[in-house]
Amino acid sequence: MTMNRFFRKNISWQKNSWWKGPVSLAAAFVLLGCSALSSSERDKTPSRLLLEAQTAYDAGDYSKAVALLEDLIEKDPSQVEGRIRLAFAYNGQLGITPIELVKSFAASATSSGTGSGSSSSGTSDILKLTSKSGLPDATVEKLQRVSLSKITVTELRSLFKEFETFQKSFLTICPLFPVSAINSLKTNATSALDLLEITKCKEGRAEVDTNVSIAALTLALGQFSSLYKAMLDTDGDGQFDIEKKANAAKSDIDGIKTSSGDALTKINKLQLATTALTEVGIELKSQVFLLALAQFNIISAVVDSTNLPDSIKNGISQAVSKLTDAVAKINSYLDAGKSTSASTQTGASATQASDTAVQEAEKILESVPDQVDSYCEKIYCFNQVYKTQKKPKQCTNTTYTCSTTTASSFQ
C-alpha cells in the first residue's frame, strides 16, 4: 500500500476527520431509540458523548474531550472507539498529535541515516526517532534540573502532570494492543511491569487497529523522547550519557597499569573511576531510567506488530535498531537485561573493570596506607550496586559502609 493510499484509507489529515468513524450498529439503535429517553439521558448516550467529544477535539478543547470520553469509558469500559479517541485526546492535551509524526517517519525511511548511536556528521537515526515528538523544551529543561536517579515514577508523575497523563493514555489504549505486542512487553519489560501497570492491559486483542498503533506510538515516543532528552542524552549527540561515562571510567581503570605518576595520583584516579562506574549502575537501576526503557519497549512492540505501511514502519525500525545497539552497550556494564530485553548481558565490562581496579589498588595502597579507608568505601559501594564480592586485601579486616550521599542514591 502506498503512503498516499494509506492516508486516504486510514487517516485524513484534514480537520481530524480520522476521528469520524462509521456509526456502529449499536449506536444506530441508540439513535433510533433516543425519542424514548429524557433530554438528560440523551445527553449521556455513547453516540452523543462521542459526537460532543469530537466537536471539542476539533476545536482544540482537549480537556473537554477528555472529560466526555472518560465519562463514556467509565460507563462502558469495553467501548473500543471511545478508548481510541480518548488516547488521542490525552495526547492532544500534551501537544502531541500524529499528523506530522507519521509523515516524518515516512520521509525518514527514504533518507540515509548516518548515525550509529554516536556523534556523526549527519543526523543520527536515534535523533530522528527522539526529535519527532515530546514535551516542550521548557519542560525538558525542568526535568533536567531534577535528580531523576533519585525519584520514583510516582514522584515523577506527581511533579510533572504530563507523565501522569502519559500513563492514563497508556492504560486507556493498551487493552486494544495486539496480543503479540502485549506478550512482547511482558517478556522484554519484566522489571518495569509495575511502572507500566501492564497487568491492567489484560491479554490484548487478535486484530491490529491502525489508529491504536498510531496512538500507542505517539504516546510512547512522547514519553521516551522527553526522558531521552532530559536524562539519557542531554548533549544531543545521539549517544547515552551513561554509556560515555562508563566507557571513560573503564578506559581510565585499564590505563592505570601503564600510566605515569605517583601512587597518590593513581589511587585518586582509581577512586574517581570506581565512583563513576557506581553512579552508572545506580542510574541504570533507577525507576525513571526503567520507565524510559519501558516506553522504548512499547515502541518496539507496537512497530513489530503494527499494520502500518512499510514506508512508515521502516523509518521507525531504523531508529529503534540503533537504539537497541546503544542499550546493549549499556547493558555490558550492568546485569539489567530484564529491563532492556538484552537478557544475555551479564555486566561483564563493569566487573572486569572492577577486577582490574582491585588488582592495581592492592599494589598502590601499599604506598599510600592513609588512602585505604577512602578507597575501600568506594569498592564497597560498587559491590553493593553490582552485587560483586572482590575487594583489595587491605579492605578485608574492616567493616565499611557507603557514605550517606552514595547510599541514599541506590537504597
Where do the domains of the chain lie? 23-78, 87-411
Three cell numbers, residue 137: 523544551
The CA-to-CA distance between both ends of the chain, in Å, stands at: 52
Say which residue, 405 or 202, is predicted with more confidence. 202
Say which residue, 176 or 318, is predicted with more confidence. 176
The per-residue pLDDT for range 109-160, each reduced to its tens digit, is 555 443 333 434 334 667 777 776 678 888 889 999 998 888 898 999 999 9
Mean pLDDT of 53-58: 93
Q: Among 27-31, 82-86, 99-103, name the most confident range.
A: 82-86
Task: Quickly state the pLDDT bin for 104 (edges 50, 70, 90).
Answer: low
Encode burial over 284-304: b for 16+ CB neighbours within 10 A, e otherwise. bbbbbbbbbbbbbbbbbbbbe
Contact 306, 316 (CB under 8 A): no
* Locus of grid cell 515523577: 156
Is the predicted pLDDT of residue 22 greater than 60, yes or no?
Answer: no
Half-sphere exposure of 88 (CA within 13 A, CB side): 28
- Residue 266 has what pLDDT? 93
- Write down the pTM of the prediction: 0.77
Calpha distance 298→362 (Å, rounded): 46
- Residue 332 has what pLDDT? 58
Calpha distance 274→113 (Å, rounded): 36
Calpha distance 357→355 (Å, rounded): 5
